[in-house]
Amino acid sequence: MAERTPAAVVWRSPGRPRRSTRALRVRSSGAVVALLALAVVLVPPLAPLDQQAVDLSAKLLPPSWSHPFGTDDVGRDLLLRCVYGLRVSLLVGLVAAVVATVIGTAVGATAAALGGWTDRLLMRVVDTFSSVPHLLLGVLVVALFRPGVWPVVVSVALTHWLSTARIVRAEVLSLRSRPFIDAAVSGGASRWRIMVRHLVPGVLPQAGLAAVLMIPHAMWHESALSFLGLGLPAHQASLGTLVQSARGSLLAGDWWPTLFPGLLLIVPTLAIAGMAGAWRERLNPRRRSELML
């Protein structure tokens, strides 16, 4: 009778490659985000050039050692302009994501914790705003102000809190059925005390994840408004205004003024999505256990 090979010799858990691949994806995404953050912080003060300096003799130069991203239609260094534009777009995305998350968390937690007519009223408000396209609602908000950074932040924040409110409401409804909430009710705690001391801290990880995922969404929203001429003024560098000002160059066959600002929109989106995906797996124990099988 032939000897059997021990199971430990032939069995190799398929979870290890998946974990190592996931860890590599998270590290690479974090490295990209850190590199972009360093560029945004360090490049502007250390750059030898002025991002607004016009040199018509050097207009529309292709990428080279002296100008890695080339120059635009008035001779400005496109690398420096892209870094400034990325800084503005990240600022708009970060602030708008934080404000929208605070609004959505407050609305969702209040609706689920109080229940009854409060829940129905707040959810009808969410449904009403959700029925209007984000871009159209953002255009209406921006139209009330002069072009600038803060009107765009207000526009993005007021149109992106709806999904966070739904996520937080669902999480709070799940937490309300936990034994520690029953114990707090039996101890005589009021609804507001339970919401502030127990429910809101329990949904902060989900709210934080929603805020991280909202940053690239807000960046794209700002870029769309600026591209349409409704967001930031044309002289202020942002990724949207850079793409908008490069339309004529692209039609003339000069591809670099459009390519590099577009890449700086895509790369942070993919990097942040990779980090947020790992965060989501940590928050979902069932999904994490499936990946380890």
Question: Residue 245 has what pLDDT?
Answer: 85
Rounded to an integer, what is the distance from CA 286 to the centroid of its chain? Answer: 25
Q: Does pLDDT of 293 surpass 50?
A: no
Please give the single-letter amino acid code of residue 184.
A
Percent of the chain with pLDDT over 90: 4
Query: pLDDT tens-digit profile of 199-230?
Result: 778 888 888 888 888 888 888 888 888 888 88
Reported as a pLDDT band with limits 50, 70 and 90, residue 236 is confident
Reported as a pLDDT band with limits 50, 70 and 90, residue 50 is low
Percent of the chain with pLDDT over 70: 84
Please give the single-letter amino acid code of residue 252.
A
Query: pLDDT tens-digit profile of 27-47?
Result: 777 787 788 888 777 777 766
Q: Does pLDDT of 283 surpass 70?
A: no
Radius of gyration of the chain (CA): 24
Question: Residue 103 has what pLDDT?
Answer: 92
Q: What angle do CA 210, 152, 164 make, to 5 degrees?
A: 20
Q: CB-based burial of residue 91 (10 Å sphere; 0-12 exposed, 13-18 middle, 19+ buried)?
A: middle
Query: pLDDT tens-digit profile of 68-105?
Result: 888 888 888 888 888 888 888 888 888 999 999 999 99
Could you tell me which CATH number the domain at 27-47+95-292 has? 1.10.3720.10
Question: Residue 19 has what pLDDT?
Answer: 56
Question: Residue 121 has what pLDDT?
Answer: 92
Nearest to 113 by CA among 56, 157, 54, 175: 175
- Between 46 and 130, name the one with better pLDDT: 130
Domain boundaries, the chain: 27-47+95-292
What's the sign of the alpha-carbon dihedral 48, 53, 58, 61?
A: positive
* Whole-angstrom distance, CA of residue 52 vs CA of residue 236: 9
Rounded to an integer, what is the distance from CA 181 to the centroid of its chain? Answer: 32
